[in-house]
Structure 1
Amino acid sequence: MWLSLPLLLPFLAGPACRAVTSLPPQQAVRLLAGSAAGLAAGSTAALALLIVPGATHLRPVAALGDLLTPLTSGPPGTAIAITVVAGLLLAVRGALLLHGAYRWWRQLRQARVLAAGSRSELVVLQEEHPDAYALPGRPGRIVITSGMLRALSAEEREVLLAHERAHLKGRHHLLVAMVELAAHCHPGLRAVREPLRYALERCADESAARAVGDRRLTARAIARAALAAGTSPDWRRPGFALAATTGPVPRRVTALLDAPARARTRSAPHRLAAVTLLACLVLSAGASLQAADDLHSGIEIAQGETGEE
């Protein structure tokens, strides 16, 4: 059955997403975000298409579509049960999606209160625990605590600020939101969240390294900031906020210290994972389109039978 593919493929994409992060950061980000959005759309469309055939067993629905016969054969109870289950799953997804979007908006509004009194790019919080993160907005702000400022040298602070500027310039929070909402659409896509955040941090790492012109300094600054932040909780940081101290920092530091050529060579075996992820996306989209075409043909046949009757 065509519609089973869009519902199953997101579960298979999870392992491939973790391997994709070994690709160049920009490629990994585009692939992860695009695949999550596409697979979420495919699975949602599949549930919507599953509702229609069973619903045509109900006389009001059949009359609305001018159908004499239902679009499915077999026991009406089975078809209607599939419709009910698909409808419930779609309703639950919709509720989770709306709740996630509302929570995102509420956190963003609360976080912007921190920057309301500042006209500069930098917002310094008088807090002992070291922390720093990018706060999206118009304009965006970089929030940093006095504890973090004391933990780093002047050169390391420049690295940290360049890292957070990269998050703001790239509007990375929108990609995080996209994948978070996609995860509400299908549980299998929850596996994309951490790989995407890692890839976004790697993008910002590379941008900071280019800005300061020193990869070793960048690696040292990120490591020291993560060690300092690790001693204190980040409970005041909004859930959508991206920060240099999050994710697998040792892996990020190693990537910065590796020569670019060596990093590209090491990522070569993981290109198979990228092909796998793209194949899942193509199969999901193709199956959804084929199922929609079959449904359209079935409706035309049923309507033709009505005309002949």
Structure 2
Amino acid sequence: MRIAVYLPLLLSLLAPLGARPLAERCEPRLATWLLTATSMVLAMASTLSLAMLAATGLLRIPLLAALGHWSAQAAQRDDPAELSVALIAGLLLAAAAFAAGRMLWRRVRSLAAAVLEAACMPAPDGLVVVDDTAPEAFALPGLPGRVIVSTGMLHALEKSEHEVLLAHERAHLAGHHYAFVALAQFGAAANPLLRPLASAVTFTVERWADESAATATGDRHKAARTVGKAALAAHRAPARSRIPAAALGMLGALTRRTHLSSAGPVPRRVAALLAPPLRLRPAPALATAAILAVAVWSTAEAAHDLHLLLEHAGA
């Protein structure tokens, strides 16, 4: 446990540096999978590292060591980690468990509420148009999901742009984008160092839906114009907060509280649509696989070292 146990924590510090380049230079579908997988694996690996470091501190408490028939003196002699490190790891582990549990509870509640709300909306074709002057459009996950569009948003766009809007929202449902966002945010809750990865996933799922809409309509420029017009319409409208937390919309926010002034991803999405589509390249996947392999190996190696420590303390 001298080095291996700290590698997942080090990777958690380094991985966010590549989140934005990966989100912008990699094909959106692949980027979403890679970022989500990285967030989950590093969150689990770093949490296990904290748990193993905290366990070495528990072994030094005579009462707890006696329960497992271990020698506290032997554990202190053989374990290279300082007691202060073990105590800090224990505090961080408790905070991570609380944050992850809270995030899981909130996501389960929001998804259950979305499924129930979607089930109560009669929509043979999955489209629900609400009479509201506020420009809103979002996909509500469910069994099946619903695409919710306000009359205000329809009036803000030309009829030819409605096709782009609906294709974008339906892509969110077809791709189960809410699941990717929820998993990435769950990983970030357990390990706050991974928050840039979760933010990148909220961007890449929008890019994924943008590309799906552009492919479905066959017009990338019209798709870019629709994204820009929808963002401007929402920016000019008064703030609203009735969109469910489980919803994903064209503006890329889980709620309507985020406006264009703070939605830097919108101009980047428009620019990406005005450029040729990105191609699938193996390099990002290989680099991500290498990082995750190191995280898994180091966690397994640290677990093996802890096992040896327990054996020596027991002997």
| Fold-level similarity (TM above 0.5) | yes
Counterpart code for 1:189: L
Counterpart code for 2:6: S
1:242 is aligned to 248
Q: Structure 2 length normalisation: TM-score? A: 0.85
Residue of 162, 170, 195 corresponding to 1:165: 170
1:287 is aligned to 298
SS of the residue corresponding to residue 156 of structure 1 reads helix
Q: How has the CA–CA distance of structure 1 residues 75 and 161 changed in structure 2, closer, same or farther, with 3 Å as cutoff?
A: closer
| Equivalences, count | 297
Please say if 1:198 is aligned against 2:198.
no
Deviation at 1:292, TM superposition (A): 0.6
Deviates more, 1:245-254 or 1:150-159: 245-254
TM-superposition CA deviations, 1:250-295 (whole Å, max 9, x none): 22222222223xx44xx98x95x76655444333222211111111
Counterpart code for 1:281: L
Counterpart code for 2:220: R
Runs of 4+ in 1 over 6 A off after TM superposition: 74-77
TM-superposition CA deviations, 1:63-117 (whole Å, max 9, x none): 33322354232899952x4333222221111111121122223334445565454
SS of the residue corresponding to residue 3 of structure 1 reads helix
Please say if 1:56 is aligned against 2:73.
no
Counterpart code for 2:267: P
SS of the residue corresponding to residue 190 of structure 1 reads helix
The answer to whether the 8 Å contact 2:138/2:149 transfers is yes
The answer to whether the 8 Å contact 1:20/1:274 transfers is no
1-side partners of 2:191 and 2:28: how far apart? 25
Q: Structure 1 length normalisation: TM-score? A: 0.87
1:73 is aligned to 77
Counterpart code for 2:77: S
The answer to whether the 8 Å contact 1:176/1:240 transfers is no
The answer to whether the 8 Å contact 1:162/1:207 transfers is yes
1:39 is aligned to 42
Deviation at 1:163, TM superposition (A): 0.7
Matches within 5 A, 1:91-110: 91-110=94-113
Deviation at 1:187, TM superposition (A): 1.3
Please say if 1:174 is aligned against 2:179.
yes
2-side partners of 1:50 and 1:141: how far apart? 46
Please say if 1:219 is aligned against 2:221.
no
2-side partners of 1:77 and 1:119: how far apart? 60
1-side partners of 2:66 and 2:138: how far apart? 57
- Name structure 2 gaps, 5 residues minimum: 253-262
TM-superposition CA deviations, 1:234-253 (whole Å, max 9, x none): 42223442211235222222
The answer to whether the 8 Å contact 2:139/2:147 transfers is yes
Counterpart code for 2:29: Q
Deviates more, 1:62-71 or 1:168-177: 62-71
2-side partners of 1:161 and 1:103: how far apart? 28
Please say if 1:139 is aligned against 2:144.
yes
Q: How has the CA–CA distance of structure 1 residues 238 and 70 changed in structure 2, closer, same or farther, with 3 Å as cutoff?
A: farther
2:21 is aligned to 19
The answer to whether the 8 Å contact 1:56/1:70 transfers is no
Please say if 1:255 is aligned against 2:266.
no
Question: How many percent identity over aligned positions?
Answer: 40
